[in-house]
Amino acid sequence: MLILNEKDMRRSVTLSQVMDKVEDAYRIFASGAFYMPDRPSVMHEGNTLLYMPCFMESCFGTKFLTLFPGNPAKGLPYIDGLMLLNDAASGKTEAILDGSFLTALRTGAVGGVGMRCFTPLESSSVGVIGCGKQGFYQLLYACEARQIQNIYLYDAFPKDFESYIAALQRELGKNQPTIHVCDRVEDLLTASDIVVTTTTATSPVMPDDASLLRGKSFICIGSYKPEMRELPNAIWQLVDHVYTELPFAIEESGDLSQPLADGIITEARIRYIGDLLSEQQRPTPPSPGSTNYFKSVGMGLLDLNVAQLIYQAALQHGYGQNVNL
């Protein structure tokens, strides 16, 4: 059995390969060639455990995540966990991967695929609202998906932006957009072509003002529970529909369930990215000045497809630790 830590996982694959694999997972979803029960989420004393099993023809696996809201204040990551990857024929566990890093790597790629599909080619600036772990990886993929020249950062809570920016600069290597910290979310909205939300918020993270949202492409990552919300209702004045991943997202995310319950939208305005990607290799990017909206809640199929890519690449390169239990 191979144990893959963050370093081995990161050096096994490129960001572009991970985005391709995420696109591939969306096509598998549309084809129906998988089995993935709605993920059970267990709450205890304010903390959440997520169990995300999924079966494909060639392998199956389970991602286990812990989400502890009190962790960031203690300097610990909000999300921790493991991914088990199993052989489809025998059930044998072939690999254990760092589930927290897998989450960030594949969720960043989900945002990157959202940017490939739903942001104008000309987009040259990206803003992240919620500068935690997911926000960091969203920015790396944004710089892969589009020619980003300016990055804008906003967080509602005090942050060590100096080390966040230094870490971003290290990862971005030669590709060095200018990075700005915004004191107000309104400033980030005005300056950014692409707006990514990666918060744990329970109420919209920007004003309910269509004039601030018009002409932006929103990639919304954070809300995965009915009581969590990132986008205000004004978005629905500007877009015909939102693209998301799976019907369960409508139940899971307050960004979708709340406007539905309030009668602001009907389900007809919710579409699925897998349908789009199975019809076309990749859709023509929207035109400059359009307003666009992609909402991700994540799903085990994404983790499984990306974990399989990483495992196969690590085997090829001889990375990871072989362990006999």
Ligand X SMILES: NC(=O)c1ccc[n+]([C@@H]2O[C@H](COP(=O)([O-])OP(=O)(O)OC[C@H]3O[C@@H](n4cnc5c(N)ncnc54)[C@H](O)[C@@H]3O)[C@@H](O)[C@H]2O)c1
**Using CB under 6 A as the criterion, which residues of the chain lie in contact with ligand X when the complex forms?**
67, 72, 78-79, 103, 107, 110, 129-135, 155-157, 198-201, 205, 221-222, 224, 296-298
Helix count and strand count (H, E) for the chain = 11, 16
Between 143 and 205, name the residue whose CB sits nearer to ligand X: 205
| Closest separation in Å from C-beta 268 to ligand X | 23
Q: Please count the residues of the chain.
A: 325
Between 2 and 19, name the residue whose CB sits nearer to ligand X: 19
SS (H, E, C) 185-198: HHHHHHHCCEEEEC
CA dihedral 254, 259, 262, 267 (to 10 degrees): -110
Between 2 and 185, name the residue whose CB sits nearer to ligand X: 185
User: Whole-angstrom Cα distance, residue 92 to residue 86?
Assistant: 5
Between 41 and 124, name the residue whose CB sits nearer to ligand X: 41
| Closest separation in Å from C-beta 70 to ligand X | 11
| Closest separation in Å from C-beta 22 to ligand X | 10
Q: Closest residue to ligand X, Cβ-based?
A: 132
Selection from 95, 76, 77 nearest residue 85 by Cα: 95
Between 149 and 203, name the residue whose CB sits nearer to ligand X: 203
| Closest separation in Å from C-beta 277 to ligand X | 17
DSSP string of 48-111? EEEEEEEEESSEEEEEEEEE-TTTGGGT--SEEEEEEEEETTT--EEEEEEHHHHHHHHHHHHH
| Closest separation in Å from C-beta 91 to ligand X | 26
Between 78 and 272, name the residue whose CB sits nearer to ligand X: 78
DSSP SS3 for 148? coil
CA distances from residue 8 to 21, 98, 108, 171, 308 in whole angstroms, order as listed = 18, 10, 18, 16, 14
Selection from 84, 31, 28, 40 nearest residue 60 by Cα: 84
| Closest separation in Å from C-beta 204 to ligand X | 8
